[in-house]
């Protein structure tokens, strides 16, 4: 094996490790955004339900 072949293999391994880390971080961020959106939808539904219950009791 020549020196350039060794550096090519090491470069490829490092590139795969960095790509794996970046993709993992992006999926974590995407999952966080999805969770926040779901929490917002559920919070609005619960708020609307509570408001409807308290409004009907007042009338």
Q: Is residue 4 part of a domain?
A: no
Q: Is residue 7 part of a domain?
A: no
Model confidence over 2-49: pLDDT tens digits?
888 999 999 999 999 999 999 999 999 999 999 999 999 999 999 999
Q: Is residue 19 part of a domain?
A: no
Residue 46 structural domain = 25-59
Q: Tell me how many domains the chain contains.
A: 1
Q: Which residue has the tokens 């880390």?
A: 21
59 pLDDT above the threshold of 60: no
Q: Is residue 3 part of a domain?
A: no
φ/ψ of 39, rounded to 5, equals -60, -40
SS3 letters across 3-56: HHHHHHHHHHHHHHHHHHHHHHHHHHHHHHHHHHHHHHHHHHHHHHHHHHHHHH
pTM over 0.75: no
């Amino acid at each position: 094996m020549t020196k350039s072949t060794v550096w090519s293999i090491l470069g490829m391994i490092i590139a795969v490790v960095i790509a794996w880390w970046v993709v993992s971080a992006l999926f974590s961020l995407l999952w966080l955004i999805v969770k926040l959106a779901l929490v917002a939808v559920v919070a609005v539904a619960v708020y609307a339900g509570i408001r409807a219950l308290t409004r009907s009791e007042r009338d």
